[in-house]
Amino acid sequence: MVPRPLACGVVGDRAVLVLPWLALQSGGPGWAELGRGLAGLHRRSQGGSPGPGFGFTSDNFIGSAPQKNGWRAGWADFFVACRLAPQLAMAEARGDTYPGAAELLERIPRLLQNHACEPVLVHGDLWSGNAGLLENGGAIFDPAAYWGDREVDLAMARLFGGFPTTFFSAYEAAWPLPEGADQRVPLYNLYHLLNHANLFGGSYRHQAQVSIDRLLAVVG
């Protein structure tokens, strides 16, 4: 499911990663296998975090944008400090502001207070362009990996479309999501909307603001 690296190294000031060529298909029955495979990846990594809770051993990237990591004992703390706050800081540096964002950051612990999750290894950037079907299943690649709530991968898979219901049904059958998962989707996808707004501008900024407003309305 995850391509195995063939080689890696540094050439001049560039890092090099060599991966096998995958003959990706445009359609087929592999979506269910991909859903089951993602559930298996999440489940097998449960309890294996190398740090004290949620995070990663170093900062990395989501697309071309820097992604802050480090370690936090609590999921809500990590999501605020290492996901939303850095994106909002990047937006402010560009001259963009989001009314209500600071208030939302303060209220996120309340949004997540009844959600108990264990850190698993997540892809972190699971849109349809970072997944593909093979003759015998599927593959995911180009991750922005960290140890987080498994729901973030399922949430982003819904954000831009491209994943059929068979993918989600197969995941759910292999490892059912906890109560309230659907309500957490907008919160988790706010990170990606802010990132896209910082990278590409345009309508993503409006979508991020709408999401902030709706989340504030929910939390009260």
DSSP string, 191-213: HHHHHHHHHH-THHHHHHHHHHH
Give pLDDT tens digits for 19-40.
Answer: 999 888 877 789 999 999 999 9
Of residues 110 and 136, more confidence is placed in 110
Token code pair at residue 119: 């850190």
Strands (E), the chain: 7-11, 14-18, 54-56, 60-62, 65-67, 70-72, 120-122, 131-134, 137-140, 146-148
DSSP 57: S
What pLDDT is attached to residue 67?
Answer: 98
Average pLDDT, the chain: 95
DSSP 25: B
- The CATH number of whichever domain residue 133 belongs to comes to 3.90.1200.10
The answer as to whether 190 is a domain residue is yes
Number of domains the chain is built from: 1
The answer as to whether 194 is a domain residue is yes
The answer as to whether 8 is a domain residue is no
Give pLDDT tens digits for 51-64.
Answer: 999 999 999 999 99
Check if 77 is active-site: no
The answer as to whether 203 is a domain residue is yes
Model pTM?
Answer: 0.94
Distances (CA, A) of 178 to 74, 90, 220: 18, 32, 23
Domain that holds residue 61: 25-219
Tell me the β-bridge partners of 11: 14
What pLDDT is attached to residue 65?
Answer: 97
The answer as to whether 162 is a domain residue is yes
d(CA 10, CA 153) in angstroms, rounded, equals 30
Tell me the β-bridge partners of 55: 71, 147
Burial (CB count <10 Å: 0-12, 13-18, 19+), residue 200: exposed
Give pLDDT tens digits for 173-199.
Answer: 999 999 999 999 999 999 999 999 999
Q: Strand order in 70-72's β-sheet?
A: 70-72, 54-56, 146-148, 120-122
Token code pair at residue 208: 């991020």
From the candidates 13, 59, 96, 125, which is the catalytic residue?
A: 125
Burial (CB count <10 Å: 0-12, 13-18, 19+), residue 109: middle
The radius of gyration of the chain's CA atoms, rounded to the nearest angstrom, is 18
The answer as to whether 132 is a domain residue is yes
d(CA 88, CA 102) in angstroms, rounded, equals 9
The answer as to whether 196 is a domain residue is yes
Side-chain half-sphere exposure of 109, counting CA atoms within 13 A: 6
Q: What percentage of the chain has pLDDT greater than the value 90?
A: 90
The answer as to whether 166 is a domain residue is yes
Which band of pLDDT confidence, cut at 50, 70 and 90, is reported for residue 220?
Answer: confident
Stretch 109-130: mean pLDDT: 96
What pLDDT is attached to residue 79?
Answer: 99
Within a 10 A sphere around the Cβ of 77, how many other Cβ atoms?
Answer: 15
